[in-house]
Amino acid sequence: MVKKQTLNLFAKIAKLVAPPPKLTVSEWADKERVLSQEASAEPGKWNTDRAPYQREILDSVSNPQYEDIIIKASAQVGKSEIINNIIGYFIDYDPAPLLLIMPTDKTAEAYSKDRIAPMIRDTPALSKKVGDPKSRDGNNTLLHKKFPGGHLTLVGANAPSGLASRPIRVVLADEVDRFPVSAGKEGDPLSLGHKRTTTFWNRKKISVSTPTDAETSRIEKEYNSSTKGQWCVSCPSCGVFQPYEWTQIRFENVTMECVSCKTQHKETEWKVRPAKWIHRNPTAKKLGFHLNALASPWERWATIIEKFKEAKEKGTEMLKTWKNTTLGEVWEEKLQEHDHLKLMDRRKDYPHSVPDDVLVLTGSVDVQDDRLEIEIVGWGVGEQCWGIEYKIFTGDPGQQAIWDQLDLFLAKEYERSDGVSIIISAICIDSGGHYTSEVYKFCKAREHRRIYAIKGKGGNGVPFISRPSKVGKAKDTLLYVLGVNEAKDTISGRLKIEDKSKPGYCRFPLNKELGYDEAFFVGLTSEYKKIRTINGAVTHQWVKRSSNIRNEPFDLRVYNLAALRIFSPDLDYLAEHNLTGNAYVQTARKKKRRRRGVLSKGV
């Protein structure tokens, strides 16, 4: 009995003197943190699983591998609570001198009152470590709070004196894009704050912000030099992990389209799927995270779409604010995003498969590794155009089957409501991918049908259509090189024309079975013109709005315009004489047959 009592006594003593269990920041928050009623829409016990993307961000503070942590985020993703949990962790579990830098003294004071004070009051683990602010011992003031083993100081980035004293182990900087360029005459406030950590081997520098302008954004610069983490969710259909991308959101049915399989799923389907952080630059020394409101459990996609539409109506400044605070992305002065909505509104039912004003049909083909994408376009007087059909043939372009399918499709005849039948007069097929030889083979056998291989070339001063060269093993296949900058300038300009009577106006069918769904219009407006100055010379190039966006519809419009220019019909003459592009094709066929001696002279 005595032996058992002695063992129990030793067990109790061992428990009392044993070090506390090693906790990460998220584990500490789940164990100790209480959300205050005046500071949270969901007061009560903290639960990291409510917004699971926060776990890795919080726990990165406990990771000795990284000294710098960068958080580029929109509003409504809980970034303030991430900061609060980090502060609470160090006050209670790993005491250290802390510095929280806010844009100004006033914002620092407001944060202390509205965020820090309620957290300390309502979280027992903190309230017993930080003195009562009403006491007179000076340990807990508005901007300086002491606790056993450390202290928390809050300063404004505009106050050089607050940034120049005391060694600090952990520096948290909130809304760094709103910091002044210099703290008085002392220089960059973020750098001044970071210098305070020099004497600590286990220092942490945590920078958080909603981004602002591309040219001046501190957080964008920091994020671009980091591991560039993205919160990625697996597709409910194919399982491919991908970030929540605004360019993949479809307004009509409030869904997100999978970047891989193109299936569209509702918000509720995406947000219950497995998700994880994927770092695109994993060897970087800084750990970076990017979050937007599409991932937030506190924002609905339908509401985000409505707010976007409202911001767009109110003008550039409101749209800029929306992009910064909702997508967590910098603003660049470029063509307005989601211009595709205006083009979608143009969709009308055609009375027949081809409107009566269409005089010529052209086709274009884009060759991808797992599919062929095709668009047929109708042309009328003044090069006004009508989208006729957009098709995707899935399959391996290295196999003959998909080319046979394409051949059959391109041989189709279309009919106007007046009974006139029209064939496709000219077709351009992109040969610049991985299946160049297959494209050459297909086109060589069909050049008599005006099916041509083309290849795009960027850069200023490259003419839209160059004289064709002979390519392929036998050097017997025609290849047209296209100046894509000039062509994209033309197409982009025509998409902006709103007067239906003007040359170049573009129309689209309402019938979604013809392929003109929202994804098509997103792709049609997928690029913008970026101006650059190189060695004093102003140049421009067309770039995608997002790396995940599809730009095949835009490219196919360029190839269709190229097919029209290569075919070079006199559209005014055709309209005046009630003819179509078939007349040119039939004339060419007759001449070819005469040369072969099939037709007698004069027939």
Q: Give dist(CA 117, CA 143) in Å, integer.
A: 11
327 and 355, same domain (yes or no): no
Q: Which domain holds residue 193?
A: 20-211
CA atoms in the 13 A half-sphere facing the CB of 167: 9
Identify whether the C-beta of residue 455 lies closer than 8 Å to the C-beta of residue 433. Answer: no
If DSSP codes are grouped into helix, strand and coil, which group holds residue 547? coil
Looking at 183, 211, 239, the residue that finishes a domain is 211
Q: Beta strand pairing status for 527-534 and 451-457? A: unpaired
If DSSP codes are grouped into helix, strand and coil, which group holds residue 300? coil
323 and 384, same domain (yes or no): no
| 578 assigned to some structural domain | yes
Angle between helix 53-60 and helix 25-32 axes, rounded to 10 deg:
110
351 and 327, same domain (yes or no): no
Identify whether the C-beta of residue 560 lies closer than 8 Å to the C-beta of residue 363. Answer: yes
Tokens representing 427 are: 């077709």
pLDDT tens digits, residue range 18-75?
555 689 999 999 999 999 988 788 889 999 999 999 999 999 998 999 999 999 999 9
* Cβ neighbours of residue 519 closer than 8 Å, sequence gap 6 or more: 250, 257, 262, 550
Q: Give dist(CA 152, CA 111) in Å, integer.
A: 13
Q: Give dist(CA 324, CA 332) in Å, integer.
A: 11
Tokens representing 460 are: 């200023």
Q: How many domains does the chain have?
A: 3
Which of the residues in the chain have pLDDT under 50? 16-17, 335, 536-537, 592-603
Q: Which amino acid is at 325?
A: T
Can you give the CATH number for the domain in which 398 is found? 3.30.420
310 and 455, same domain (yes or no): no
What pLDDT does residue 7 have? 57
Tokens representing 555 are: 């490219």
452 and 563, same domain (yes or no): yes
pLDDT tens digits, residue range 507-544?
999 988 999 999 999 999 988 877 665 554 456 778 88
321 and 353, same domain (yes or no): no
| Block residue for tokens 């099939």 | 598
Q: Give dist(CA 330, CA 334) in Å, integer.
A: 12
| Block residue for tokens 């098709």 | 391
What pLDDT does residue 373 have? 96
426 and 360, same domain (yes or no): yes
311 and 443, same domain (yes or no): no
145 and 196, same domain (yes or no): yes
Let me know if 349 is exposed, middle or buried by CB neighbors in 10 A (0-12, 13-18, 19+): exposed
What pLDDT does residue 597 have? 42
Bridge partners of 557?
none
Identify whether the C-beta of residue 153 lies closer than 8 Å to the C-beta of residue 162. Answer: yes
Can you give the CATH number for the domain in which 33 is found? 3.40.50.300
